[in-house]
Every structure is written in C-alpha cells, then in structure tokens.
Structure 1
C-alpha cells in the first residue's frame, strides 16, 4: 500500500512538472491583460489559442460573437481569418514540389500558359517564388477584386494583364493578392481539383478542422459563428455584412476557430506532422521558415529596435521579436481581423481571431502573450495602443481639415448631371455604372453602391451606402475626377486607386436609352450632305447609317434624338428639326456637318 502511494505521488510529481514546463505563465494575469486590451480597443469579441510543441496550453474566448444577442465567444467560434489563409495556399505548392515535381523557381506560365502580365519583363522573368514573396513589382490593385468581384478564378486572373507594375522585379517588396490567386490556380492545374477541394482534403480533413470552411455560404450554414463589426468614430460598434471574396479565395477565404487553427500551428512546430501523420513535407517546413525579401527598412517601429530584420517569406512575415525568431501573418476582411504567429525555436504558436474590422487587437494580444509565454521584458501594450490611437485621431482630424480647406468654393460641374451617367470600364478592373437618381449621382459597383458628392469642378467624393444609409465616416481615400473628349462630352473618370501609380482611367460609354420603333421610323430616309447621299435605315430594330464607300454603322441611342456611332470613338449623330426640315447632324472630332433629309 505504501509502495502504491509513493508511486502515485511520484507520478503526480512527474505530471505536475510536465504541465508546469508546458505552461510557465500566470493564466489569471494573462486573462486580465487580454481583457484590458479588449476594453481599450473596444473589440466586441475575440478568441485565442496558444500551442507549446504538440499541446494547446491555453485557449479561450473573450466578449461576444453576437453583441446584439449577447452570445459569448469561445475557442470554437468561427471567424474569417483573411490573409492568414495564404500560408495554406503556399503549403499546397510545397506538397506539389514533392509530389508533382514543381519548382518554386519555375515560371507560373509553365502551369498557366494563358497567364499574361503587363509587360515583357514580367512575362519572361517572374517566378513562382517572386509571386510568393511579393516581389514582382506589381502594387496591390486590390480594388480590382474588392469592388469588382467575380466567381471565376481564371477570369479574375486575366485582369492581371492590365495591372501596371510600379517598379522592376525583385527591386521592392509590395503586397499583392492576385499573385496568391495565381498560386491557387497552379495547384488546380496540377491536381485537376479546385483550390477549395485541395484545402479540404490536404488540411481540413487530416487536421480535424471539421468546422472550418471556405466561403460565406458555408459560414452562414453552421453554428457558433461570429458576426463582423466595425468601430465607428472610435466609440460605437456596428455590425456589417459578411464579404464574399469570391474568386480571390486562395488569398484569404478561410473561416476557422482558434481551436482548429491550433492544429495548423502544430504542423509547423513539429516538422510538418500532426498526430504522427506527415501533413507537410519536412523539407518544405524547413525552407518555409526562412525569409525571402526585406520589408521596408527592416525596423518597423523605432520604439522597439530589437524587433528588426522584418522580411517576408513563404506567406509568413519573419522578424526578431525581442531576440526570438518569429513568423507571423495577419488577416483582414470586412468585420474581421486575425493574426497567426510562430516562434519556431521556442516551439510556441499563437492564434488570435477577432470580429473587429482592421483591428489592432490581434497584434497587441499576440505581443502580450509572447511577453508572458517567453518570459520577456513586459511591454505595456495597452498604453502603447492608447498613444498610437491618439496620434491616429489627430492625424485623421488634420486630414479632414486639409480636405475641407482644399475645396475650391463656388464651382460647379461642367455638364448637367445626366451627362455623367453611363457605363465605365477598365479591362484590369471591370465595369461600373453611374446613374442619376433624384438629382444626385450614384456609382453602382458589383456589390457596392456609392453616393457621389460634388467637391469642386468635375471632382466628386464617393460615400458608400449600406442598408440605404450614407456612410460619411469611412473614407475610401479616392475621388472621381471626370474628363472630357475633344467634343466636350464626358469620356472617362480617373480614380487614384494605387498610391504608387498614376490614376486608373475608366472609359465611359453613355447609357443606352429605349426609343420606340415609331420614333426611329421618323429618322429613316435619305439625307443629302454636299452632294453625297447618306442613308438611315432600320436593321433588326437598330437604326443604321450608311455612307457610300464605308461599312454600315450602328447608331446607339443615348437620347431620343442623339446617337453614338458604334465603332467610331468621338463620333455622334443627332437629328434636329429646322423649321419643317429634318436634319442629320454629324458631330466629329474634325468638325460638325449637317445633312438635310430629302
């Protein structure tokens, strides 16, 4: 009996020592610090998990997944993780390297022959590794997928041909989501399966990530799901709709929980293994732990000079955090923010998921946890944030004052508002329409509607409309600057969508109007122009113009009596009654000519 007691005491000592070695921090103190960060950032809710080697040593939810119904968050609550998804996409290529003979130094065109870039240098020299490390010389061009989403990946990638670079290959790091779309498509070509199928089969199933999913429809059809929120005026949380990122999914469509993401961390902390199953090749893990491209100057914050060598690798930002090597990646999509971090040499992993749009909380919580778990000098991250937010408020206030002072008073648009209406197109982005409604202009994008407020001259400021309410708080930071052609018509609008490039120009096509066949028949006939006979006739319900020696032209109605001449930029035809005579007025870049109906 005494022997058994001694044995039990010994086993209890061993187990207690093991648990202590796994979790060498004060859990209650950590709870208190994380709650303080939640309060200072005014975050509705978040979840966190900490992994040590192959064990979850801390997992918890804070606040609410649904503020209105006061539903509490826990470690199983699903959040959108945004760009923290990227490491999954590159990891698929790591598997393809072992199984399909892919090389990261290959040209992406080897697998996607139809992929075309803006210039010859990109087409001939860019590699998969360049796309992974954001060093292609392309800026983000994010409005291309955000304002103009489509479901077909190949069609979305085709827009890259019209995306202008701002520098040469490998000269500067610059984030680009389209290059991760391309990586997802490469795995589709190699496996004859969709990126989504590959993610489920290669990661979700073997990692027991049974509740994790890959689109908003799946998210809405499950339980314990967080709503997304935006903090308005630094004071009030407002629920916002889920954003379906559609075809750009390989860059950031995963929805998951802190608990299930902890299994993903275990893979990275254990040479690619999970429960003795080799999920990722060990060679890939060893390679993917390394940086590829320096980000910025290397020191992100002068207040923390020991956080240096900031670089980017295989969908991980790499740096030194207070002397400890760290990999991490954030994620942001409407209503949600995330951060996933690894300390490979310390065998520590951290995941933070929150339901606040563009939130500082994941970074603050990650850092606070790192200080505790790694037993580092403690930074007061709450005060750090308060100082940062005060500076941000001041800068935003100054920006609004500058915006107000930059308005040139007593100016008006050069045309009547109806003349700005029409369809606007850029091949690297897509189409949107501007419509006149109740004496105001509205821009209609694929899933967004904006009110265009006149600033001065032909410049308008866009404000997003959500739930039929005008959002005057969110600042898109862009203007609609309308241009005219040689005829004086509104021909395009310029949008400053990329800070590193000139304005993106969207060309205007006037909106077609419906004209009855009875009215069109009035215009049919022969017209004399300086001895030349012009013919106006109907063909398949379209009004046509025939000029001797030229092809037939289709006349596209933009007003009851005014038509664009299809195929001839800057040419119009207008029918005018002069006393009892019907005239055909041809408006051209080289002049205006009048033909009289016979």
Structure 2
C-alpha cells in the first residue's frame, strides 16, 4: 500500500513538472527529450536527471527513466541522490568564505589549524600550504583504498593516517588528485568555526541557497522522500542494485546528496559573481580565483578527432578546459551506484547539472555535451555514436587482456596440505587493519564493509573476488602477495598489495 502511494505521488510530481514546467521549451532545446531518452536507452542507465541554468534562471529541469528501477518509480528533477566529488567545490568555497572573514589565508600551513597533522616527509610539514591542498599539488597520490576499504567516521583518525602515506613526487611538481586533502580542508573549517564540516556546509550554502532537500549524510539520504537507488551495470546487460556507500569521515571530498534542481541553485552563484537572489554567497574575487587556472593537470593537447577540445587545468574544486572554443568549468562525481557532472560556461552564462543512478557512467558527459552543443549553437556531435565506438574499443582491449591472462595462467601452486598459516590480522598505519580467516577450507579477507574470497593463483599469491550469490565477481583489487620469513619456517610476516598504482612499491601490511 505504501509503495503504491509513493508511486502515485512520484507520477503526480512528474506530471506537474511537465505541465507547469518552465513555460515554452527553449527553441535551442527542441527535440532534447528524445535525445536524452536515446542516451538513457543506449547506456542502459536506470535513470537520469537534468537541470539547465541560463543567467539566474532554470530554463529546463527534468528526469528520465527510474529512480527505483525495481519498483519503476520515475526519476524527476527533484530526485535526491549522491553527487560525489562535485562536493569538492563546496568544501573549497567554505575555505574561501573563511578567508573572506579573515580567519585563514591560503598561504597558511594546514598544521597551523590542525596541530596534530604531519606528512610523510619533514619538508612537507614545513612547506605545504592550504592552497596546495586545494589544488592537489602536495605530491601525495590518492591512496583511495585507505578510506574506501577502511572507512572511519572519526576525521581525526583519518588525519593521523596522512603521515604514513607516501608521496609520489615533490611538492608542487605535479598535479595529484587526493581526497584526503579535501578531508583536511573540512577539518580546517571545523577547527576554525567550532562546528562540523556538515553543519558548515548547511549553514554557509545549503540553507541560503534554498537547497532544502539536500544533505550531507547517508542516514539523511535514506530518510529522504523521492530518493534514487544506485545501480551498476553487470556484464553489459544486468542492472544490479548496490548499497549506498557511506563516505563517513572523508565526506568533505564527496558526501553531499542533492537533486538536479537544487544543484542548479549552486550554479546560479557561479554564473552571477557569487550572488544568489540578491545575497552574496561567495565573494566575486573568490569566484574568479576558483574558476581560474591555478595548476596545469595535464598537457591535453588538441587531438585530430577533436581539435576544438583541449586544455586541462584546475582551480579550486573545479576542472577547467576549452570545449569547442568555449571556456568550461566542471567537475564529475562518482561513487558506488551514482555518477554526476556539474558544469558551467561563465562567458556564456550557461550551467548544466546531470545526475544518474548508474555508477561509473558515461551518461553524464554525453548529456552535458549534447545540451552544450545545442545551447551554445555549435555544430552537434553524435555523442551516442562516440560512446558506442569507445565501448567497442574498450571491449576489444578487455578481451585481449583476458586472452593474455588465460595463456599465462599458472596452476603449479600448492593446493592443499599447506603448512603456511595466512590467517590473522594485518595492519598498515596509513590504511588500517583487516583480518584474513578460513571458512569451510576457503580463505577470506574481511575489511570493515567488504568481504573478499581469496583464490590462490600462485605460491603465496591470492586473487580477491567478491561473492555475488554463487558467483565470483572481479573485485577490482590487485593480488595479495604474502611475504614469508623463510621457506623453511613458512612463517608469514607481511602482505603486499599494490593499492596505490602510482608508487613503485606496493603497500605493505604487517602481520600482527
């Protein structure tokens, strides 16, 4: 009975959106519904939501497909879902507000505001600035499995891990995207204001921007009406429901949940010199600085296939590029079961929000580009065809990898009667502690939220798999390589896992 009522309510929302809408459809958007439905179909995404801002007005907002694929509840522009790393621009802007209030300088050492913070090398302790955190120039790579496999709601415990996370390059030598550095920015705001990052985001941005249904936690999302369920595409055919991922303490890097329509209010700020409905949300000086090139992320030279798309720079929480002759500022968001893209073209006074309940999805870029081509009056590109060609190319590459793996497969390892005991607890101070245990003659790795079956692929080498019913699914994790004290004693001392690909050496977990 409850499900039926919710379904009727959702249908009514979609109906009134269509009837009341935003007046007559903008001529440049004629036929856009059919185009977006085509993208939805070809990508096999459950649903998507879009909002377009021009100047200080939302000129189009609509949902397609389903927010709940199993129950066929429709998606609309007010459907709330995780927006992932598009949160980063909010966190950086929070520091911008605190700077305008005279409470910090971007040239400050983060240790000035977080006294217990230390980095891997002494020269980083003495030279890293808040601006380095904001522009990903610390030289420290992502170390994402630290927060993904070992999540913690205690931000202080995450701060303590930073000193054990090895850098890849020197300070300000290269751009290295790092979610931990966003977490540190959130903690800086907490130390200065005496309020949580979540409360600061709500008070500085969500409330004044009338983002009434937006929030910063999974618990709030679960209590929201008209919320989306997340899905992944399995084997290119099966739409598989996935649980919400709680970002916990790493939240300043990506834990905002919102709708396309409410995220459009955020874009109004950036298109109008920091002003929303007469209120100065961000200073004009910060807006200009944040959407200006602060660091080069890669060469991104024009390619033969797309000579009018180039430049790859970064501001504060925003990537900057040239899109077919137009200055584009944008950021993607990806977390289990959801993808997002929030972009704006400051010189054209155009903003586009695209959200989908499909993880690792190409939908957001296809929709964004299709809308941009129309609104900017550019000769349209067939982005669906581009997607299909790229998909075919990727499939061929995956098949080659499978063939190589099959040819090189080894079976000359010890299957049974092994005198080696792999079970026990393993720890790395930059990541965390997990357990390996036996169950029904099989070996498993138990992390805080995830459990993996370990299949032996060579002597002391195991491949982790996720259990999906009776099937084994690729976990996406690299092999576990156990290190022995000696071949004679068969004593395991540590476990090496290449969790950070940019580093020369794998991450070592000592057996406790």
TM-score, normalising length: structure 1: 0.79
Contact 1:105/1:129 (<8 A) preserved: yes
| Structure 2 equivalent of residue 387 of structure 1 | 389
What do residues 314-340 of structure 1 show as CA deviations (whole Å, max 9, x unaligned)? 110001100000000000000000000
| Structure 1 equivalent of residue 437 of structure 2 | 435
Contact 1:424/1:492 (<8 A) preserved: yes
Measured in 1, the distance between the counterparts of 2:120 and 2:296 equals 24
Q: Structure 1 residues 111 and 479, CA, compared in 2 at 3 Å: closer, same or farther?
A: same
In terms of Rg, which structure is larger?
Answer: 1
Count how many residue pairs are aligned between Structure 1 and Structure 2: 488
2:510 counterpart (507, 512, 517): 507
**How far does residue 39 in structure 1 lie from its aligned partner after superposition?**
1.1
Measured in 1, the distance between the counterparts of 2:235 and 2:257 equals 28
**How far does residue 301 in structure 1 lie from its aligned partner after superposition?**
5.5
| Structure 2 equivalent of residue 297 of structure 1 | 299
Q: Secondary structure at the match of 2:28?
A: coil
| Structure 2 equivalent of residue 480 of structure 1 | 480
Q: Secondary structure at the match of 2:176?
A: coil
Contact 2:197/2:252 (<8 A) preserved: yes
Q: Structure 1 residues 455 and 153, CA, compared in 2 at 3 Å: closer, same or farther?
A: same
Q: Determine which structure has the larger strand proportion and give its number.
A: 1
CA RMSD between the two structures:
1.7
**How far does residue 296 in structure 1 lie from its aligned partner after superposition?**
1.9
| Structure 1 equivalent of residue 117 of structure 2 | 115
| Structure 2 equivalent of residue 14 of structure 1 | none
Measured in 1, the distance between the counterparts of 2:292 and 2:472 equals 43
Q: Structure 1 residues 496 and 267, CA, compared in 2 at 3 Å: closer, same or farther?
A: same
Contact 2:420/2:491 (<8 A) preserved: no
Contact 1:407/1:456 (<8 A) preserved: no
| Structure 1 equivalent of residue 42 of structure 2 | 40
Measured in 2, the distance between the counterparts of 1:87 and 1:503 equals 32
| Structure 1 equivalent of residue 380 of structure 2 | 378
Q: Structure 1 residues 443 and 300, CA, compared in 2 at 3 Å: closer, same or farther?
A: farther
What do residues 469-488 of structure 1 show as CA deviations (whole Å, max 9, x unaligned)? 5442x341400011101443
Consecutive unaligned residues of structure 2, counting only runs of 5 or more, are 1-21
Q: Secondary structure at the match of 2:361?
A: coil
**How far does residue 214 in structure 1 lie from its aligned partner after superposition?**
0.8
Larger RCO (CA under 8 A, 6+ residues apart): 2
**How far does residue 195 in structure 1 lie from its aligned partner after superposition?**
0.2
Tell me whether 1:266 sits opposite 2:282 in the alignment. Answer: no
Tell me whether 1:73 sits opposite 2:75 in the alignment. Answer: yes
| Structure 1 equivalent of residue 5 of structure 2 | none
Pairing 1:431-580 to 2, within 5 Å after superposition = 431-465=433-467, 469-472=470-473, 474-486=474-486, 487-501=489-503, 502-509=505-512
Q: Structure 1 residues 65 and 19, CA, compared in 2 at 3 Å: closer, same or farther?
A: closer
- Larger mean Cα displacement after TM superposition, 276-285 or 394-403: 394-403
Measured in 2, the distance between the counterparts of 1:177 and 1:451 equals 28
| Structure 2 equivalent of residue 366 of structure 1 | 368
Contact 1:448/1:465 (<8 A) preserved: no
**How far does residue 303 in structure 1 lie from its aligned partner after superposition?**
2.1
Tell me whether 1:254 sits opposite 2:256 in the alignment. Answer: yes
**How far does residue 405 in structure 1 lie from its aligned partner after superposition?**
2.5
TM-score, normalising length: structure 2: 0.93
Measured in 2, the distance between the counterparts of 1:89 and 1:283 equals 17
**How far does residue 106 in structure 1 lie from its aligned partner after superposition?**
1.5
Contact 1:24/1:373 (<8 A) preserved: no
